[in-house]
């Protein structure tokens, strides 16, 4: 059986509950841990909601899975065959969690981090068994995006990498294996796109709303079906060569965080969570937008899964 019989997730904030729901649905007995009893309590509703979404997408399911909520760290992780760490993106904190995992987990347990870009080798530095530490980067929302970036560190064992890929495939997701690179591949692409979008808006070339329409239909729609490498084949490599030869030198290569973002964060305009960022929102509009996004992702995932 590829799916770990028992697994643990450390950190029950934004990512933990969705990850727990996916593993439980594939038959694993998951223990979800957090230092905050209050967060853990909230995570019950989050896990339940994620499970309902998995029902709506018709995700494959295996019997025997469950999620329990455990505030005591040793109890949560000691019997796990796979541990997913999802604590905040701070290297000292992650190192501390992995040192504690070494103390409390079986020698055979795989220890995976959901870091968004801290090098795995840095997280594993100083551990007695760095060969079983690996990056397993889920995309948000983790119960809806069926792709996980697998990032072995310098010392990660080939057997550990192969087992993690097999686990991901067993719960019906696609695994992509990458070498360590700052930000990992998905975020590098996203941030390259965002840099150019922000630069064009800042220069007054296009409005914010038209930018959203242009990228959603002109790029997002197409890329969700074919991916960039196949897009190049479809468009013709000769076309790319001639356009890239005059366009690439004109694209933003700024190493700075754009002023457009800095001035908003300085005045605490952080987006939906503060009811204003690039656009304005009421609380009701935030709820509506979030529901719209979830329904859209469910509908698109169903279609793309059938391709
Ligand atoms: N949020 C995203 O969109 C996203 C996407 C992909 C990857 N990630 C990565 O996943 C990880 C978690 O992100 P998140 O957004 O869920 O963070 P979060 O801040 O929402 O949740 C982290 C949780 O960890 C808990 N925690 C802190 N220290 C702990 C400890 N020692 N033991 C147990 N629990 C502890 C906190 O109480 C908190 O509830 C980060 O590395 C992040 O970069 C996040």
Q: Classify residue 245: in a domain, yes or no.
A: yes
What integer pLDDT is reported at residue 1 of this predicted model? 56
Residue with tokens 């007054």: 204
Tell me if 168 sits within 8 A of 175, measured CB to CB.
Answer: yes
Give yes or no: residues 112 and 38 share one domain.
yes
Residue 122 confidence (pLDDT): 96
Asked if residue 262 belongs to a domain, the reply is: no
User: Are 125 and 61 found together in one domain?
Assistant: yes
Shared domain check, 88 and 198: no
Question: Could you give the C-alpha distances from 293 to 220, 252, 289, in angstroms and in order?
Answer: 14, 29, 6
| Predicted structure pTM score | 0.94
The verdict on 83 and 135 lying in the same domain is yes
Residue 217 sits in a domain whose CATH number is 1.10.1040.10
Residue 175 sits at φ, ψ, to 5 deg, of: -105, 135
Tell me: do 218 and 303 sit in the same domain.
no
pLDDT of 307 reads: 73
Evaluate whether residue 1 is within a structural domain: no
Identify the domain boundary among 155, 177, 199. Answer: 177
235 inside domain: yes
Backbone angles phi, psi at 302, to 5 degrees: -60, -45
Q: How many structural domains comprise the chain?
A: 3
Look at ligand 1, atom 15, and give the residue with the nearest C-alpha: 14
Closest CA to 135 of 151, 156, 123, 117: 151
**DSSP 8-state class, residue 172:** T
Range of the domain at 187: 183-255
CATH number, domain with residue 79: 3.40.50.720
Ligand 1 atom with least separation from CA of 43: 39
pLDDT, tens digit (0-9, with 9 covering 90-100), for 34-81: 999 999 999 999 999 999 999 999 998 999 999 999 999 999 999 999
The pLDDT value recorded for residue 6 is 98
Distance 32 CA to ligand 1 centre (A): 12
**142 in the same domain as 19:** yes
Rounded distance between C-alpha atoms, residue 138 and residue 112, angstroms:
11
Give yes or no: residues 298 and 275 share one domain: yes
Residue 30 lies in a domain: yes
Q: What span, in angstroms and rounded, lies between the C-alpha atoms of 82 and 164?
A: 9
| Domain-located, residue 301 | yes
298 is a domain residue: yes
Ligand 1: lining residues by beta carbon, under 6 Å? 10-16, 33-36, 39, 86-89, 93, 97, 114-116, 137-138, 140
Q: Indicate the top mutation candidate among 9, 14, 191 to test ligand 1's pocket, ranked by most ligand atoms within 8 A of CB.
A: 14
Radius of gyration of the chain (CA): 21
DSSP structural state of residue 271: B
**Same domain, residue pair 234 and 172:** no
Query: Is there a contact between 277 and 121 (Cβ–Cβ < 8 Å)?
Result: no
User: Are 130 and 202 contained in the same domain?
Assistant: no
C-alpha of residue 87 to centroid of ligand 1, in Å: 3
Mind listing the pLDDT tens digit for each residue in 88-127?
A: 999 999 999 999 999 999 999 999 999 999 999 999 999 9
Whether residues 115 and 242 fall in one domain: no
Nearest to 19 by CA among 174, 143, 175: 143
What is the distance between the alpha carbons of residues 58 and 212, in angstroms, rounded to a whole number?
Answer: 30
Q: Which of 156, 177, 198 is the last residue of a domain?
A: 177
CB atoms within 10 A of CB 199: 16
Give me 185's structure tokens: 């591949």
> What CA–CA distance (Å, rounded) separates 125 from 113?
13
% pLDDT > 90, the chain: 98
**Of the residues 177, 197, 222, the one at which a domain ends:** 177
- If asked whether residues 79 and 130 sit together in one domain, one would say yes
Cα distances from 157 to residues 31, 103, 154, 160, 161, in angstroms, run 25, 20, 9, 5, 6
Verify that 173 and 229 share a domain, yes or no.
no
For the chain, which ranges sit under pLDDT 50? none
**Residue 260: inside a domain:** no
Structure tokens that stand for 144 in this block: 């809806």
Best probe residue, ligand 1, of 86, 99, 104, 191 (max atoms within 8 Å of C-beta): 86
């Amino acid at each position: 059986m590829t799916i770990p019989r028992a697994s643990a997730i450390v950190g029950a904030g934004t990512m933990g509950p969705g990850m727990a729901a996916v593993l439980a649905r594939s038959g694993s007995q998951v223990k979800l841990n957090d230092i905050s009893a209050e967060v853990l309590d909230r995570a019950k509703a989050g896990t339940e909601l994620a499970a309902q979404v998995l029902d709506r997408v018709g995700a494959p399911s295996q019997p025997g899975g469950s999620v329990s909520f455990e505030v005591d760290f040793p109890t949560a992780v000691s019997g796990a065959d796979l541990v997913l760490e999802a604590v905040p993106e701070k290297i000292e904190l992650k190192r501390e969690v992995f040192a504690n995992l070494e103390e409390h987990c079986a020698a055979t347990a795989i220890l995976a981090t959901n870091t968004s870009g801290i090098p795995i080798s840095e997280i594993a530095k100083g551990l007695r068994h760095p060969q079983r530490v690996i990056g397993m980067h889920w995309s948000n929302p983790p119960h809806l995006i069926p792709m996980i970036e697998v990032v072995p560190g310098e010392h990660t064992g080939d057997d550990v990498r192969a087992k993690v890929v097999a686990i991901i495939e067993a719960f019906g997701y696609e695994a992509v294996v990458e070498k360590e690179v700052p930000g990992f591949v998905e975020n590098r692409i996203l941030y390259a796109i965002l840099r150019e979008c922000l630069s064009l808006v800042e220069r007054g070339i296009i409005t914010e709303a038209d930018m959203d329409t242009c990228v959603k239909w002109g790029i997002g729609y197409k890329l969700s079906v074919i991916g960039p490498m196949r897009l190049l084949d479809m468009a013709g490599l000769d076309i790319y060569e001639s356009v890239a030869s005059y366009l690439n030198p004109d694209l933003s290569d700024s190493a700075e965080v754009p002023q457009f973002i800095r001035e908003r964060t300085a005045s605490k305009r952080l987006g939906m969570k503060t009811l204003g960022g690039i656009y304005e929102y009421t609380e009701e509009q935030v709820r509506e937008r979030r529901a719209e996004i979830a329904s859209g992702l469910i509908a698109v995932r169903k279609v793309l899964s059938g391709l």
